[in-house]
Amino acid sequence: LRPADLAGETVLVTAGPTREEIDPVRYISNYSSGKMGYAIAAAAARRGARVLLVSGPTCLPRPAVAEFIPVTSAVEMRDAVMNRVGEAGMVFKAAAVADYRPIRRAERKIKKGAGEAPLLELERNPDILAELGELNGSRLLIGFAAETDQLVAHAAAKLKAKNLDLIVANDVTREGAGFDVETNIVRLLYRDGRNLELPQMSKTALADRLLDEALEIKRQRSEG
């Protein structure tokens, strides 16, 4: 059994997809099941942390955390995160946030017409993690990168651009990695340029490993 080594710590976790509504019956989203983020939330709570879990729509049972904050869209997720981040010493951003949303949401179901297919106009959603990276403070910021090519280059660019302490890069094209599976295969990229590939492991085991990494970064920081 692990010790309650996160006692006294508040951990903010985001999980799952966001949904961007097109009309009352349709939306844009992605394949995130919430499993990765929920595993982190559950592991942190088991290790004694007060966990704030901001979750997009998932089919998973609610883990035993201090606060469960359900959201639907990226804008709602941003507002929930910004409202609560001040309480957190560690943030894990496992959610798969839609980068774009429809400019307009139709009030009624869009009907098939005889004419041309409708064009869906999109606009950018806020980048929540980039906004978190701009906040001052000693809070640890751990992001994820879901990539289909150039894993290290793309993840390294996100680590830098979003001012993160650590980024967890998963190649979501690999079997046993990424969306809606029980395991993950990730490469950890650190601020000092190091990177480390971890073997395939359950999302629960990876969650504990990421919490260990966060504690180690915190320890190194406090030693200056």
User: Which positions touch ligand PMT (CB under 6 A)?
Assistant: 32-36, 74, 93-97, 99, 125, 127-129, 143-146, 158, 170, 172, 178-180
Q: How far is the CB of 159 from ligand PMT (least distance, A)?
A: 10
**Closest distance between ligand PMT and the C-beta of residue 77, in Å?**
8
Least distance between ligand PMT and beta carbon 200 (Å): 13
d(CA 214, CA 118): 47
Q: What does the alpha-carbon distance between residue 30 and residue 59 come to, in Å, rounded to a whole number? A: 14
Residue in 30, 83, 125, 184 annotated catalytic = 30
Q: Toward ligand PMT, which CB reaches closer, 48 or 79? A: 79
CB nearer ligand PMT, residue 59 or residue 117: 59
Instruction: Return d(Cα 118, Cα 139) in angstroms, integer.
Output: 45
- Provide the annotated binding site for CTP: 99, 109, 126-129, 144, 158, 162
58/43 Cα distance (integer angstroms): 18
C-alpha count within 13 angstroms, C-beta hemisphere, residue 14 = 29
State whether residue 26 is helix, strand or coil.
strand
Q: Is 30 a catalytic residue?
A: yes
Catalytic residues: 30
